Structure 1
Amino acid sequence: MTLDWETVDRRARSGDQPGVARLFLEATEAERLAFTKQFEAGLRAVDPDVYWRARVDPAPGYAIAVIGAAPSAARAATLLLKRGIRDSWQQIQFDRVLQVAEARELDWLGDLGLRLAARLPTRDVWDGGDWAFTARFLRAGGTPPPVTEGVVRGWLARLIRPRRERVPPLSIRMREDPDLDVLLPGVFEIDGMGSDIFNATWGEDSALPKSAIRFHQAVAALVAEGRLERKAILTATIDRLARGDKPNALRPFVLLHDELDPAVDEIAAHALDYARLLAEGPGAVATVAQRCLRVLDDTGRLDADTLLETSFPVLLRKEKTLVKAQITWLEKVARREPERADEVFGTVSAAFGHPALDIQERAFTLVAKHLPGLAPDTVARLAEASVVLAGDLPARAAALFGTTVLTETVPELPPHTGPAPMPPPITTAAELAEEIAVLVHEESGVRWERVLAAFVALHADGGRGSLTAALSPLLDRYPGDLGEHPWNEGEALACLGAAITMAIDPARQDGVHRRLHETVRIARQEGRRGENGSRLSPLPDGVLALRVAEIAVHLNGSMMPMLVATPTHVSGSLDAAVLLDRLSRAEAEGWQPWPFDLEQALLRLPRGPVSADVTTGVAALASPAGRQFAQWLASGGLPDPISERVVQQGKLGYLGAYDWDRPVARRMLARLRPARDGGLRLERQLLTLAPPDELKYMPDDLEGAEEVVAMVLPHHREVAAAWALPEMAALADQDQQGSARLLPLLAEGTGPIGPALSAAMAYAFCAKQESDRVAAVDAFLTLTAGTEPFAGRVGEALGDLCSDSTAKLGRALPALTDAHRSGASAAVWELLAAALPPLLPTKVRGVPDLLELATQVAVTLGARTEIPGLADIAARPGASRLVQEAKRLQSTLAP
């Protein structure tokens, strides 16, 4: 018979895989090869959507046809890897593939398997189905599998995530696997393989056996029965631990090591490896190494020099349990070998430099206990090492060694120079086009202000021709951003696209322009953005979009030569003298600024009185804008709104958890309301905020607009903080990231620090991501350089949030420590003094560490502040760390 594309395609689309195979089984080899070009052309012409639109997936039938028509392994691999066909590998009836291959007497199936193996994925490998398909070609061709990452990941996934519900135990499946000896070593050698084992049961159907969780047991069982060589597996395990990896990727190998339970001789063979793991390995790995080395030491087979040399870095590790065990071990060695006590306690003194006071105290107490038996030169070295002790320990060391207590120098914060001035203006159409292109990819408040100022100025200068040449390509290049669509209605970029269109084609009056005209009219007449005819955001970032819409609507009508709201500083602040110059020019040239441009300018003026020259100049203005400016200054500007704390309560779902199974029991937000009636059109909506009763899951309304929001009201930072507070809270209670970049911007501004900004700082200190905590520290340092006290309010918010674990206290400790070491010790102490009282009665993890930090800060400052509730904790019986740290702080604060 003669093969033709229509017949093959019809049978493939009907899901008739045996029928497709039969076509090639009944054909001659010459007919199959003659059909190759027609088949490839037909396959290329298939609409990719057919693979998911069709009632039956035709791809498995096409794959069988590939084996029946391909002249070589290279051509077959190219076709099988085609999108659509590759997605169906697991649905292909491989016995049909083998029938066709045997009929053709193909000798390149192994080569085909190698080519497919080279393209196996190395990420998101779930059940190893691609590997199973590839492996059948390798086995059919008698070709061993290559030990590549894609192959090993696929092989392992197939083993630990069986697709059938009833399967033999993993140890049996591994024993019977023909590729075990070739591919198992790759599990130990390729980085990240342990993560596949550790996460194997994620999302796994409960009906399936949890075999992945027993990987270490299966390997150990094969070792015990002799199927795998014990020495090779133990060496591979230790080598894997020594090379390091992410903690979850190392965990299966830690469990395997424990399962193998190496004997003393085996430990001795790897003594240097264990020593390095103890010093450098992750916590769980170091614990294993410490345990093995102690076994070796107990049998007298560990060299003392190796122990002492290894102990130096161990005594500075952050894992305090590990450090305490090492100190105890060293004391035991000193008792056992008194002739080496001087070396041992010289080594113990390395712990004097540990960041934790309780570790320092343990080492110091041990040294003090054995000091009488040590040589004078050793005592001198220990006295010298004690200079790094912190908290109350320097005084105790001075009394022990007869030295002088060194007074700790309080670091000073560098003076804050204030926000930087705005960059130079854009002066050419070409430069404007470049900035707009960047703006499309990365919006920022400063870039927006420069673009808007240049756009208006260049258009007013009669540069329509240059603007057309420079900006027209942008509309074609970024139609999804600069054009209006359902997904970006009312966004600033879409309004900018409309403004560009009006600048280069003034005769055009399309629906976008009409909608923007209506939006601007509503904002002017009703003082409203959003809902009922307005597509602009009612949030603070909607002010920018309104200003851009105003430009688009009025650009060709009033021919403004410049904007008056362009700030003079990157914080958004506008000098009153500069605004006076701009309005004086407007009056002299006979033009009036656009309404919302003028309102934004007024909202950006600094607080407080202006100079006499500005007062005199403003009084001389006679235009409507000038009179409004004068009235604004006379009334004292925008009065601070009333900001009040609001607590949202989480709502339990049907699964018994909060909000999409994220445990958010409550969230601290703020309510805003204006302090006066009337005012500017922009004023009431900006200063009115009433959070809903139910908290929002993963809020992101202001994502990426932080700088824009900060620049709307640069001298009323509490307002911006209140609007952004849901996202700031989500940094800590839902582990989002990025929103804390707003805080340093607000710190550069001015205005009272109320409940919103205080809570925002507290949440950011407890953020999951380090970058957000760093932003909180930067803001804290900037605020500390100001004159307004604020840290106590942040401490109250922090104590409240952490007292019931709404936020995690442990996350805040490194950030507060950084702030202390950077010179903000006084502010950190004010924060701690306010945060500790609500935390002391609780059992929140991290309170002892907070007390320890408080002791360090108190010693630095010589603080004597009384902490409510501290004496009660210090008076408790027992030797818990909470009680010990409370006693230490209480002693430090005593007059």
Structure 2
Amino acid sequence: MSTLLDAVREGRLDDVPALVARLDRRERKAALDELKELRKEARGWAWNARTRVRKAVMVAGAGCHTGAAGCATWLGARDMRDWTHSPYPWVLQVLADRDPAWLADLAGRLAARAVETEAEYRFVVELARRADCPLPVTDGMVRVWAEQVSGSRWQWRREVPLVEVLRKEDDLRDLIAHLLTMPELPPSVAWVDSASPGDYWPAALTALAAQGLLDRGALLDGCVARLLRGGGKPSDLRFCLLVVRALEPTPEEEAARVADWMALAADGPSTVAGHAQEVLARLRARDGLTVRQLAEVSGAVLFRTEKKLVRAQLIQLGKVLRGEPSAADELLPVIADTFGHPDTDAQERALKLVARALPAATPAVREEVAGMASLLAPVHRKTALAVFGDLLEDEPAAPYEEILPPPPAPRPVGPPHGSVAELVEEVTAVLISPDHEDVTAFERALDGLVRYAHGGAEELVAALEPAVAGMWWATLPKGEAEWRIFSEPGSLHTVAASLLDRVSAKAVHDARARRSKTPGCYHQALNGILTARLWEAAAELRSGRLPYLLATPTWHTGTIDAAELVERLRGYRALGIAAAPADFAQALLRVRRTDAEEAAREAAALGTGEGDRLAAWLRADEPVAAVVPRHVDTDVEVGRDWLRQTVVKARRALLATRDNPLVRQKFPPAFHWLGSSHSPHHKDCYCWVAESPHWIATLPEDGESLAAWMLPSLAACVQEDRGNAWLLPALAETGGPAADAMHLALAYGLGARHPEDRLAAVDALLVLAARGRLDAERLGGELAVLIAQDSVKPNRLAIAVRTAAETGAYGTVLSVLVPVLPALLGRERAPRGLSDLLAVAAECAERSGPPSGGPVPGVAATAARGGTTQLVRQAIRLEAACGAVAD
């Protein structure tokens, strides 16, 4: 055994198999214990020595294991698999004396683990061969095999056809059967080489099935099952669809899977559903699909949003009704469901189809279908009356009523905590919450810590200490905890760690007194204000001087009621306490200045410096940073084309803000950035993750200033960034005027690239409209400018405004689109998505009435062009809707 260990330590791999063979069972067990210790010891060695010795450790350990389970764990360990040249040939030598059943067990266990390299795959294959057992097939085995097969097509600089490589595989059927059940196909399998379409996996599998090397029925079933299961990448479904099409199923094979085709047509991705639709059409032509089955699948397909699929299904239903008028009772109710489809063209097709087949239906079905005509858009009302006659009552339309969500009501923050236990519970919840904590809970917890530390913090410390014992800073030495907290400022951890003396008094004093460098963007500026407030609170906790904080919000938006702030200052005066600078400055930024003259008089009557400043602030009622005329940044880089070595740039409409001397003169240094003038060209933002719910609560009454500073980030979401519009709904709830900056920010959000950003903008649009702060003409004008600069794409805007209109805000959406359409209609070449915008405008006009300013310029000229394009059709529809309702 000592000789074996010496050989292992010296890395003499060739000597290991013979030395292991001399050991009996007891000696192998003892050697294995020594090898485990050597394995741990080798982890600290140099790389070259560690690699050489570890190979020997692996081989010797495999030979010393007497059980297949332990041997598989040893061989499959992560630290045993990081070498270049595989030691598996020596492993096979030390396992040469094992019986076939043991080798088969080992092969199965290794295959079930992560097989990641060709060497591991070949090792399992050789074990299975020696054991004379079927190859264990797992995801890892198939993935490595597929990559190896794809790579072996190029040998000796001569390309070998893939079908020839696969033909030589002994376990081909088992490998392919498992391949189709994997969560994701290997990239080399799903990839299709368009340059040589005959030599890719779908074509090779089809050829092998034709030659009998693969079971044709099993291959077809596997691909159809994979399509039904869905999931994975789009390329995976394309692979299976290519195989299905290449197999060209016989009529009998298609008829045997009719339920599968119906399910794929109803729920499959668009391309898969289209193929299933074609198969069902063939089955119906051969009487392989009953009328009841056709009605069932049609009900699902006609509910889909893809216009192509809906149109094809209606055409198929029309063919069936022409050949079999008796099927009208079964099919007409299904067709009538299309009356509620969002696409008015689909409604029109369905109505025409119903009109042709209605005479063949029974009276009961006619009445049922007529009752569903109420789902039709108003543009089809006259046609529906002609089709259904007396069955459809010509009732006068009810007066239109705009449906907007109720204006968000401010939610009160609530009274202070009633006990230390209640406070500790909320503080702990804030500390363990993610970065996007609830601002209300955060502010309540911060104020509660100050309140209960006033006059003595012994009880608070005793209750809080065990509750936060598991926090990262609670288990670190004081110096290291300070360093970590300084590197990650801006959370309640700063205050809690200071209260529990994990941060020294000197560190708190230095952090409070230190003046940070000038912020380069509004993210850093607003985060810096929060950081200054937290260090100030940490210092005040140690002294216990403050009875409460002045900046605690009254409502969830962060706003403070002016009268309540006056009352807080009155309490400070009674105690003879001066306000903390950052806390008082934040309170001024949060106080509501609308209709606050009475509060200003009471503040002035306090006779204190803070009261006088509050009175002057309330009476000034000016924004923290006034927005100035537009700046257009023509030099914004949005991407690079590395193949052509060019830079992709975009024009972005941005706004600047003026300086406010009052803020720079009267407020603490952390607030000075807010009072300085800022141009969109001034500085670049390099914040990698810039997202905080505290930003809105910092300036809850100056949404216009916030919007102006946010514009560069919001402008980026129309091109490449994702998630920048998440603050728009909260921004719409802020106080102050909603002018150029707010509406330009909303315009960028409505044209954002990603759906979640557009949805956030729609929410903000509805909030502004519900609060009566939306200037539709201004928003439409901003959108027209952005579209003219190619910053916003009309098709994305159409998706956003359609979503808003479907909530019931048809009049609001129409008023926004009216300023947008004339410039687009006047272009020589219509931009992509213009017909969609016209369709939304037409639907809004049909429901809410014509725009108040009269006909939309350019619509009549576009409608008069003639033709059947969607652009002309929707222009005619919009013109008719405005004219009909006006008449």
Shorter-chain TM range is: 0.7 to 0.9
2:714 matches 1:728: yes
2:79 matches 1:79: no
Specify which of 866, 875, 878 is matched with residue 886 of structure 1.
875
Residues of 1 paired with 2:2 and 2:176: CA distance? Answer: 48
Could you say which residue in structure 2 is the equivalent of 1:817?
802
Could you say which residue in structure 2 is the equivalent of 1:9?
9
Q: Give the SS at the match of 2:96.
A: helix
Deviation at 1:654, TM superposition (A): 6.2
Could you say which residue in structure 2 is the equivalent of 1:101?
95
* Contact 2:153 2:165 (8 Å CA) reproduced: no
Specify which of 361, 365, 390 is matched with residue 352 of structure 2.
365
Could you say which residue in structure 2 is the equivalent of 1:285?
272
Specify which of 836, 840, 843 is matched with residue 856 of structure 1.
843
Deviation at 1:316, TM superposition (A): 2.1
Answer with 851-860 or 708-717: which moved more.
851-860
Specify which of 608, 616, 631 is matched with residue 631 of structure 1.
616
Deviation at 1:600, TM superposition (A): 0.8
Deviation at 1:881, TM superposition (A): 1.1
- Root-mean-square deviation over aligned CA pairs: 3.8
2:751 matches 1:758: no
- The 5 Å alignment of 1:311-460 reads 311-340=298-327, 344-368=331-355, 379-402=366-389, 403=392, 404=394, 407=397, 409-440=400-431, 441-443=433-435, 444=437, 445-460=439-454
- The 5 Å alignment of 1:400-549 reads 400-402=387-389, 403=392, 404=394, 407=397, 409-440=400-431, 441-443=433-435, 444=437, 445-464=439-458, 466-467=460-461, 470-471=464-465, 474=468, 477-479=471-473, 483-485=481-483, 489=487, 491-493=489-491, 497=493, 499-500=495-496, 502-505=498-501, 508-510=504-506, 512-513=507-508, 515-519=510-514, 522=515, 529-530=518-519, 538-549=524-535
* Contact 1:649 1:693 (8 Å CA) reproduced: no
Deviation at 1:325, TM superposition (A): 1.3
Cα separation, partners in 2 of 1:380 and 1:536, compared to 1, 3 Å: closer
What do the CA deviations read for 1:795-833 (whole angstroms, capped 9, x no partner)? 444455456764555455454333223232222222222
Deviation at 1:553, TM superposition (A): 4.1
TM-score of the aligned structures, taking structure 1 as reference length = 0.86
- The 5 Å alignment of 1:660-809 reads 665-674=650-659, 680-681=666-667, 684-687=672-675, 688-692=677-681, 700-703=688-691, 705=692, 707-737=693-723, 739-767=724-752, 770-801=755-786, 806-807=791-792, 809=794
Could you say which residue in structure 2 is the equivalent of 1:61?
56
* Contact 2:525 2:671 (8 Å CA) reproduced: no
Deviation at 1:566, TM superposition (A): 0.8
Residues of 1 paired with 2:185 and 2:440: CA distance? Answer: 46
Query: Residue type matched to 1:313 in 2?
Result: A
Residues of 2 paired with 1:120 and 1:406: CA distance? Answer: 70
* Contact 1:311 1:347 (8 Å CA) reproduced: yes
* Contact 2:588 2:614 (8 Å CA) reproduced: yes
Residues of 1 paired with 2:302 and 2:684: CA distance? Answer: 45
Residues of 2 paired with 1:363 and 1:390: CA distance? Answer: 12
What do the CA deviations read for 1:188-214 (whole angstroms, capped 9, x no partner)? 334x3347567658xxxx9x9999982
Deviation at 1:730, TM superposition (A): 4.3
Answer with 580-589 or 496-505: which moved more.
496-505
Answer with 52-61 or 131-140: which moved more.
52-61
- Percent identity reads 31
What do the CA deviations read for 1:136-168 (whole angstroms, capped 9, x no partner)? 433333332445445444544544466977674
Could you say which residue in structure 1 is the equivalent of 2:546?
560
What do the CA deviations read for 1:538-579 (whole angstroms, capped 9, x no partner)? 421221111112223454458122211111111010001111
* Contact 2:424 2:467 (8 Å CA) reproduced: no
Query: Residue type matched to 2:134 in 1?
Result: P
Could you say which residue in structure 2 is the equivalent of 1:223?
209
2:106 matches 1:116: no
- Structure 2: gaps of 5 or more residues: none
Deviation at 1:254, TM superposition (A): 0.7
* Contact 1:51 1:58 (8 Å CA) reproduced: no
Deviation at 1:593, TM superposition (A): 0.5
2:566 matches 1:575: no
Could you say which residue in structure 2 is the equivalent of 1:649?
635
* Contact 1:36 1:71 (8 Å CA) reproduced: no
Cα separation, partners in 2 of 1:129 and 1:822, compared to 1, 3 Å: farther
* Contact 1:564 1:597 (8 Å CA) reproduced: yes
Residues of 2 paired with 1:81 and 1:587: CA distance? Answer: 73
Q: Give the SS at the match of 1:714.
A: coil
What do the CA deviations read for 1:715-754 (whole angstroms, capped 9, x no partner)? 11122233333443444422523x4332222222112224
Q: Give the SS at the match of 2:337.
A: helix
Could you say which residue in structure 2 is the equivalent of 1:306?
293
Cα separation, partners in 2 of 1:98 and 1:639, compared to 1, 3 Å: closer
- The 5 Å alignment of 1:603-642 reads 603-610=589-596, 612=598, 614-638=599-623, 641-642=626-627
Cα separation, partners in 2 of 1:566 and 1:34, compared to 1, 3 Å: closer
Could you say which residue in structure 2 is the equivalent of 1:143?
133
Residues of 2 paired with 1:812 and 1:129: CA distance? Answer: 53
Query: Residue type matched to 2:487 in 1?
Result: E
Residues of 1 paired with 2:624 and 2:534: CA distance? Answer: 26
Specify which of 202, 210, 227 is matched with residue 241 of structure 1.
227
What do the CA deviations read for 1:620-677 (whole angstroms, capped 9, x no partner)? 1111111111221232354551153543534364615799x9x663445433223666
* Contact 1:411 1:821 (8 Å CA) reproduced: no
Q: Give the SS at the match of 2:820.
A: helix
Cα separation, partners in 2 of 1:413 and 1:8, compared to 1, 3 Å: same
- Structure 1: gaps of 5 or more residues: none
Query: Residue type matched to 1:745 in 2?
Result: A
Cα separation, partners in 2 of 1:399 and 1:151, compared to 1, 3 Å: same
- The 5 Å alignment of 1:203-218 reads 214-218=200-204
Query: Residue type matched to 2:271 in 1?
Result: A
Could you say which residue in structure 2 is the equivalent of 1:37?
33
Residues of 2 paired with 1:879 and 1:177: CA distance? Answer: 57
What do the CA deviations read for 1:456-513 (whole angstroms, capped 9, x no partner)? 22221312353265248748722299944479636213xx555445544499444x33
Q: Give the SS at the match of 1:352.
A: helix
Query: Residue type matched to 1:185 in 2?
Result: A
What do the CA deviations read for 1:431-453 (whole angstroms, capped 9, x no partner)? 44444443343243223312221
Residues of 2 paired with 1:486 and 1:423: CA distance? Answer: 33
Could you say which residue in structure 1 is the equivalent of 2:86?
92
Query: Residue type matched to 1:867 in 2?
Result: V
What do the CA deviations read for 1:691-738 (whole angstroms, capped 9, x no partner)? 3489778x64422x1x2000011011122233333443444422523x
Residues of 1 paired with 2:762 and 2:250: CA distance? Answer: 50
Q: Give the SS at the match of 1:265.
A: helix
Residues of 2 paired with 1:592 and 1:658: CA distance? Answer: 61
Query: Residue type matched to 1:291 in 2?
Result: E
* Contact 1:4 1:38 (8 Å CA) reproduced: no
Q: Give the SS at the match of 1:751.
A: coil
Cα separation, partners in 2 of 1:415 and 1:855, compared to 1, 3 Å: same
Q: Give the SS at the match of 1:647.
A: strand
Query: Residue type matched to 1:689 in 2?
Result: H
Cα separation, partners in 2 of 1:333 and 1:498, compared to 1, 3 Å: closer
